[in-house]
Amino acid sequence: MQQPASGASPEDIALDKQVLRAQIRPRRLINRSNRAEAGQADYARRYREGIYSLIPRTGEKLTIAAYLPTAAEPPITDALQQLHHDGHRILVPVVRPGRQLAWVQWDPHVQHPLNGMGIAEPEGDAEGPHAFTAADLRLVPALAYGRNGRRLGQGGGYYDRLLPRLSEQALRETTVGVVFADEVLDSIPYDTWDGVLYRVLTENGVHPLGEHATHQHTVQPARRRAPHTGGTLFSWK
């Protein structure tokens, strides 16, 4: 198995990922609890503006592969509702056996059942991975992104199976990660199969990752040295 340039073993990388996930997940819950309704509405507005900045002003109706966020994730539901109202086609994932995702068209006026992870899943005709790759715009959830574009997901590997299907042009031009600003980190532990994106949407707008990233865009939390990756893990208060 090929290893990252840091030389970390797969076991070390897996452990560092677990540590980072264990930091981010409760922090998201605490931050959501601390935001008053007005604060949550402001975040929703800012994400809506950020997503609409990705929509060409040609009047063309797009197919957008997105997702329905949990209460602790960035609040993009208002944006998706507005996009649907404006005539865009919204696809959201549903979990299938074998850790695969299928894609179903979303209608905000229909109440959807929750899956075992507490995520709403629309019912209807499901499309395969081609629906994700063929979409005009893709919004990709995560727990964190590194400045180098590396993605830390929830650990299921669902998007790690999808992102390699995209062309380099699609990754650069029509695929955007979605996290909070303080989840864009100097460095994150990664495996060679983890997805790499070139842009990320936060409550502060759309920012470049990878070779186009600049340090001015990223919030700097308190940090401690990662023992194995040569990168930085973060602790939040």
pTM of this structure: 0.84
**Tens-place pLDDT, residues 131-173:** 999 999 999 999 999 999 999 999 988 999 999 999 999 999 9
What is the pLDDT confidence band of residue 123, given thresholds at 50, 70 and 90?
confident
**Please, what are the domains in the chain?**
10-234 (3.40.50.10420)
Average pLDDT score over residue span 165-182:
97
Sign of CA dihedral 118, 87, 171, 147: negative
**Tens-place pLDDT, residues 22-45:** 999 999 999 999 998 889 999 999
- 115 C-beta neighbours (distance < 10 Å), count: 11
**Tens-place pLDDT, residues 195-224:** 889 999 999 999 999 876 544 333 333 333
